[in-house]
Amino acid sequence: PIIWIATSNEDKVNEFKVFLSNFEIKTLKDLPDYVEPDETGTTFAENAVQKAQALSEHIQGMVVADDSGIEVEALDNFPGIYSRRWAYPITDWPTINQKLIDKINVETDQSNWNAQMISVMALVDVTCDKVETFEGIVQGKISHQVQNHHQGFGYDLTFIPDGSEVTYSEMGPAKKNEYSSRQIASQKLKTYLGGRNEK
Ligand code: ITT
Ligand code: NA
Protein backbone atom coordinates (compact mmCIF):
# COMPACT_ATOMS: atom_id res chain seq x y z
CA PRO A 1 0.00 0.00 0.00
CA ILE A 2 0.88 3.69 -0.32
CA ILE A 3 1.56 5.78 2.76
CA TRP A 4 1.77 9.58 2.68
CA ILE A 5 4.28 11.27 4.98
CA ALA A 6 3.90 15.02 5.50
CA THR A 7 7.59 15.85 5.56
CA SER A 8 10.06 17.73 3.42
CA ASN A 9 13.05 16.45 5.41
CA GLU A 10 14.84 13.94 3.15
CA ASP A 11 16.86 12.55 6.07
CA LYS A 12 13.64 11.58 7.83
CA VAL A 13 12.32 10.09 4.57
CA ASN A 14 15.40 7.87 4.24
CA GLU A 15 14.72 6.48 7.72
CA PHE A 16 11.01 6.02 7.03
CA LYS A 17 11.92 3.98 3.94
CA VAL A 18 13.76 1.55 6.22
CA PHE A 19 11.07 1.39 8.93
CA LEU A 20 8.07 1.26 6.59
CA SER A 21 9.69 -0.89 3.93
CA ASN A 22 6.40 -2.63 3.20
CA PHE A 23 4.83 0.61 2.03
CA GLU A 24 5.32 2.76 -1.01
CA ILE A 25 6.21 6.11 0.55
CA LYS A 26 4.93 9.41 -0.84
CA THR A 27 6.12 12.72 0.59
CA LEU A 28 5.83 16.46 0.02
CA LYS A 29 8.42 16.03 -2.73
CA ASP A 30 5.62 14.42 -4.73
CA LEU A 31 3.48 17.57 -4.24
CA PRO A 32 5.67 20.47 -5.38
CA ASP A 33 2.84 23.05 -5.14
CA TYR A 34 1.73 22.08 -1.62
CA VAL A 35 2.23 24.83 0.98
CA GLU A 36 3.22 23.46 4.41
CA PRO A 37 1.42 24.87 7.47
CA ASP A 38 3.41 26.83 10.06
CA GLU A 39 4.31 24.78 13.13
CA THR A 40 2.45 26.67 15.85
CA GLY A 41 1.89 23.88 18.41
CA THR A 42 3.36 23.88 21.89
CA THR A 43 4.19 20.14 21.91
CA PHE A 44 5.72 17.67 19.47
CA ALA A 45 2.35 15.92 19.27
CA GLU A 46 0.45 19.11 18.42
CA ASN A 47 2.93 19.93 15.66
CA ALA A 48 2.86 16.40 14.27
CA VAL A 49 -0.96 16.41 14.18
CA GLN A 50 -0.96 19.86 12.57
CA LYS A 51 1.36 18.71 9.78
CA ALA A 52 -0.54 15.46 9.20
CA GLN A 53 -3.96 17.10 9.31
CA ALA A 54 -3.10 19.76 6.73
CA LEU A 55 -1.88 17.17 4.23
CA SER A 56 -4.76 14.82 5.00
CA GLU A 57 -7.18 17.62 4.11
CA HIS A 58 -5.26 18.18 0.89
CA ILE A 59 -5.16 14.58 -0.28
CA GLN A 60 -8.39 13.52 1.48
CA GLY A 61 -6.81 10.39 2.90
CA MET A 62 -4.54 8.95 5.58
CA VAL A 63 -1.29 10.78 6.37
CA VAL A 64 1.62 10.33 8.78
CA ALA A 65 3.75 13.21 10.08
CA ASP A 66 6.77 13.32 12.37
CA ASP A 67 7.77 16.08 14.75
CA SER A 68 10.99 15.57 16.55
CA GLY A 69 13.89 17.10 18.38
CA ILE A 70 16.27 16.95 21.29
CA GLU A 71 15.79 17.99 24.93
CA VAL A 72 18.79 18.88 27.07
CA GLU A 73 18.06 18.27 30.75
CA ALA A 74 20.37 20.97 32.15
CA LEU A 75 18.82 23.53 29.78
CA ASP A 76 15.28 22.82 31.04
CA ASN A 77 14.63 20.60 28.00
CA PHE A 78 15.68 23.22 25.46
CA PRO A 79 15.62 23.25 22.40
CA GLY A 80 12.71 20.74 22.28
CA ILE A 81 10.14 21.72 19.66
CA TYR A 82 12.50 24.51 18.59
CA SER A 83 15.25 22.03 17.62
CA ARG A 84 15.22 23.09 14.00
CA ARG A 85 14.51 26.78 14.54
CA TRP A 86 16.39 27.98 17.62
CA ALA A 87 19.71 28.75 15.93
CA TYR A 88 18.15 30.55 12.96
CA PRO A 89 19.53 31.95 10.64
CA ILE A 90 22.30 29.39 11.12
CA THR A 91 21.28 26.28 9.24
CA ASP A 92 24.41 24.14 9.02
CA TRP A 93 24.25 21.30 11.48
CA PRO A 94 27.88 21.13 12.69
CA THR A 95 27.63 24.79 13.74
CA ILE A 96 24.23 24.33 15.40
CA ASN A 97 25.51 21.32 17.35
CA GLN A 98 28.55 23.35 18.45
CA LYS A 99 26.27 26.19 19.57
CA LEU A 100 24.32 23.72 21.72
CA ILE A 101 27.54 22.47 23.34
CA ASP A 102 28.64 26.09 23.91
CA LYS A 103 25.29 26.83 25.56
CA ILE A 104 25.71 23.94 27.98
CA ASN A 105 29.26 25.09 28.77
CA VAL A 106 28.23 28.72 29.35
CA GLU A 107 24.80 28.39 30.96
CA THR A 108 25.21 25.33 33.19
CA ASP A 109 27.75 24.02 35.70
CA GLN A 110 28.71 21.40 33.08
CA SER A 111 27.94 18.49 35.39
CA ASN A 112 24.87 17.23 33.51
CA TRP A 113 25.02 16.37 29.80
CA ASN A 114 21.88 14.23 29.78
CA ALA A 115 19.56 14.64 26.83
CA GLN A 116 16.77 12.81 25.09
CA MET A 117 15.78 12.47 21.44
CA ILE A 118 12.05 12.53 20.85
CA SER A 119 10.03 11.64 17.80
CA VAL A 120 6.25 11.89 17.79
CA MET A 121 4.32 10.57 14.83
CA ALA A 122 0.77 11.50 14.05
CA LEU A 123 -1.58 9.43 11.94
CA VAL A 124 -4.48 11.52 10.69
CA ASP A 125 -7.32 10.77 8.31
CA VAL A 126 -9.82 13.62 8.05
CA THR A 127 -12.18 11.47 5.98
CA CYS A 128 -12.94 9.32 9.06
CA ASP A 129 -11.93 11.69 11.90
CA LYS A 130 -8.94 9.56 12.86
CA VAL A 131 -6.16 11.13 14.95
CA GLU A 132 -3.56 8.91 16.64
CA THR A 133 -0.09 9.73 17.98
CA PHE A 134 2.89 7.47 18.64
CA GLU A 135 5.93 8.53 20.67
CA GLY A 136 9.50 7.35 20.68
CA ILE A 137 12.05 8.56 23.25
CA VAL A 138 15.71 7.59 23.57
CA GLN A 139 17.73 8.75 26.57
CA GLY A 140 21.37 9.63 26.22
CA LYS A 141 23.82 12.48 26.50
CA ILE A 142 25.44 15.27 24.53
CA SER A 143 29.10 14.69 23.63
CA HIS A 144 31.49 17.43 24.71
CA GLN A 145 32.63 17.87 21.11
CA VAL A 146 30.91 17.72 17.74
CA GLN A 147 31.58 14.35 16.12
CA ASN A 148 31.12 15.04 12.44
CA HIS A 149 31.51 11.71 10.71
CA HIS A 150 29.41 12.85 7.75
CA GLN A 151 26.72 10.34 8.63
CA GLY A 152 23.34 11.13 10.07
CA PHE A 153 21.78 14.57 10.36
CA GLY A 154 20.66 17.14 12.89
CA TYR A 155 21.75 16.28 16.42
CA ASP A 156 23.22 12.92 15.38
CA LEU A 157 26.56 14.78 15.48
CA THR A 158 26.45 15.15 19.27
CA PHE A 159 23.85 12.71 20.64
CA ILE A 160 25.19 9.58 22.33
CA PRO A 161 22.34 7.17 23.11
CA ASP A 162 22.51 5.28 26.41
CA GLY A 163 24.28 1.97 25.93
CA SER A 164 26.63 3.41 23.30
CA GLU A 165 30.03 5.05 23.60
CA VAL A 166 29.62 6.99 20.39
CA THR A 167 27.22 9.39 18.67
CA TYR A 168 24.59 8.33 16.15
CA SER A 169 26.78 9.96 13.49
CA GLU A 170 29.74 7.74 14.39
CA MET A 171 27.70 4.54 14.54
CA GLY A 172 26.15 5.12 11.10
CA PRO A 173 22.59 4.76 9.84
CA ALA A 174 22.14 0.97 10.13
CA LYS A 175 23.12 0.97 13.81
CA LYS A 176 21.21 4.18 14.55
CA ASN A 177 18.06 2.74 13.02
CA GLU A 178 18.21 -0.29 15.30
CA TYR A 179 17.39 1.93 18.25
CA SER A 180 16.30 5.49 17.62
CA SER A 181 13.32 7.55 18.70
CA ARG A 182 12.00 7.42 15.13
CA GLN A 183 12.39 3.64 15.04
CA ILE A 184 10.45 3.25 18.30
CA ALA A 185 7.61 5.51 17.14
CA SER A 186 7.55 3.79 13.72
CA GLN A 187 7.25 0.41 15.41
CA LYS A 188 4.19 1.60 17.36
CA LEU A 189 2.70 3.01 14.17
CA LYS A 190 3.29 -0.28 12.32
CA THR A 191 1.71 -2.27 15.11
CA TYR A 192 -1.32 0.03 14.98
CA LEU A 193 -1.58 -0.34 11.21
CA GLY A 194 -1.37 -4.08 11.80
CA GLY A 195 -2.83 -6.15 8.98
CA ARG A 196 -2.56 -3.31 6.48
CA ASN A 197 1.21 -3.61 6.73
CA GLU A 198 1.71 -5.68 3.56
CA LYS A 199 2.34 -4.68 -0.01
P1 ITT B 1 9.39 18.23 8.63
O2 ITT B 1 9.23 18.61 7.20
O3 ITT B 1 9.11 16.79 8.90
O4 ITT B 1 8.69 19.15 9.58
P5 ITT B 1 11.80 19.26 9.91
O6 ITT B 1 13.25 19.11 9.60
O7 ITT B 1 11.24 20.65 9.93
O8 ITT B 1 10.99 18.34 8.88
P9 ITT B 1 11.07 18.99 12.70
O10 ITT B 1 10.20 20.20 12.63
O11 ITT B 1 10.54 17.77 13.36
O12 ITT B 1 11.52 18.51 11.26
O13 ITT B 1 12.45 19.45 13.33
C14 ITT B 1 13.21 18.60 14.09
C15 ITT B 1 14.67 18.86 13.92
O16 ITT B 1 15.32 18.02 14.88
C17 ITT B 1 15.15 18.40 12.55
O18 ITT B 1 15.33 19.45 11.63
C19 ITT B 1 16.46 17.67 12.84
O20 ITT B 1 17.55 18.44 12.56
C21 ITT B 1 16.37 17.30 14.30
N22 ITT B 1 16.14 15.86 14.31
C23 ITT B 1 14.97 15.22 14.05
N24 ITT B 1 15.14 13.89 14.05
C25 ITT B 1 16.44 13.69 14.29
C26 ITT B 1 17.24 12.53 14.39
O27 ITT B 1 16.75 11.31 14.21
N28 ITT B 1 18.54 12.68 14.64
C29 ITT B 1 19.06 13.90 14.81
N30 ITT B 1 18.39 15.03 14.71
C31 ITT B 1 17.08 14.94 14.46
NA1 NA C 1 9.28 21.30 10.31
Closest ligand (CA of 153): 1
Q: Quick check: CB of 169 below 6 Å from ligand 1? A: no
pLDDT of residue 149: 79
Q: Is the distance from CB of 16 to CB of 65 less than 8 angstroms?
A: no
Which residues are annotated as catalytic?
67
Q: What does the domain layout of the chain look like in residue ranges?
A: 2-196
Over residues 26-44, the pLDDT tens digits come to 999 999 999 999 999 999 9
Q: Which residues are registered as beta bridge partners of 116?
A: 71, 139
Does domain 2-196 fall into CATH 3.90.950.10?
Answer: yes
Q: Quick check: CB of 153 below 6 Å from ligand 1? A: yes
Nearest CA to ligand 1 atom 31: 154
pLDDT exceeds 80 at position 199:
no
Q: Quick check: CB of 179 below 6 Å from ligand 1? A: no
In terms of Cα–Cα distance, which of 26, 182, 158 is closest to 101? 158
Nearest CA to ligand 1 atom 24: 68
So what's the ipTM on this one? 0.97
Please tell me which residue, 148 or 151, carries the higher pLDDT value: 151
Q: Which residues of 8-20 are buried (b: 16+ CB within 10 A; e: fewer)?
A: ebeebbebbeebb
